[in-house]
């Protein structure tokens, strides 16, 4: 059996001890949705290492004076950031795969006005090489 940080292995008493909390606190956090342990067939809670880490984070934020609603919002935003970072990685991989599948088909550069300019493979961006001479008025 492969185990990782998401594998639900800890009963509530063990998770509470690892997190430095009372089991009743874990039950309350489960009811509030701050931590969502998986359930066994008999409906017992099973916590993962990630759940225990989240419980420790909740404890630290509580110690800093945040209320449970604030902590809930922070956790929600952190989870959203993780989801978005994962999506960015997926898109980066898809882009890399596409570039490998069709090498040299398109290249992009920044135009003089900051716009995006599409170039063919081997083509160079056109640059404005004009020289502007400036002389202050009233001086010889």
User: Domain for residue 16, yes or no?
Assistant: yes
User: Domain for residue 67, yes or no?
Assistant: yes
Dist CA 135 CA 140 (whole Å): 9
Which tens digit of pLDDT belongs to each residue from 52-89?
999 999 999 999 999 999 999 999 999 899 999 999 99
Residue with token string 């017992």: 44
State the pLDDT at residue 117: 73
User: Domain for residue 113, yes or no?
Assistant: no
User: Domain for residue 135, yes or no?
Assistant: no
The residue segments making up the domain with residue 17 are 12-101
User: Domain for residue 7, yes or no?
Assistant: no
SS3 25: helix
User: Domain for residue 123, yes or no?
Assistant: no
User: Domain for residue 110, yes or no?
Assistant: no
Alpha carbon distances (Å) from 31 to 25, 26, 28, 78: 10, 9, 5, 20
Domain with residue 33: its CATH number is 1.10.1660.10
**Domains contained in the chain, number:** 1
Task: Flag whether pLDDT at 107 surpasses 70.
Answer: no
What letter does residue 21 receive in the DSSP assignment? S
Task: Flag whether pLDDT at 132 surpasses 70.
Answer: no
Dist CA 80 CA 135 (whole Å): 56
Dist CA 70 CA 89 (whole Å): 29
User: Domain for residue 39, yes or no?
Assistant: yes
């Amino acid at each position: 059996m492969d185990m990782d940080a998401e594998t639900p292995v800890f009963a509530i008493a063990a998770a509470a001890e690892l997190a430095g909390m009372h089991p009743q606190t874990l039950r309350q956090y489960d009811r509030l949705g701050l931590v969502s342990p998986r359930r066994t067939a008999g409906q017992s809670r099973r916590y993962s290492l990630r759940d225990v880490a989240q419980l420790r984070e909740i404890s630290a934020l509580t110690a800093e004076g945040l209320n449970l609603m604030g902590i809930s919002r922070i956790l929600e935003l952190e989870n959203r950031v993780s989801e978005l970072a994962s999506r960015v990685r997926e898109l980066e991989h898809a882009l890399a795969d596409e570039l490998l599948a069709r090498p040299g088909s398109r290249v992009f550069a920044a135009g003089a006005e900051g716009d995006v300019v599409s170039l063919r493979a081997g083509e160079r961006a056109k640059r404005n090489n004009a020289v502007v001479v400036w002389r202050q008025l009233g001086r010889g």
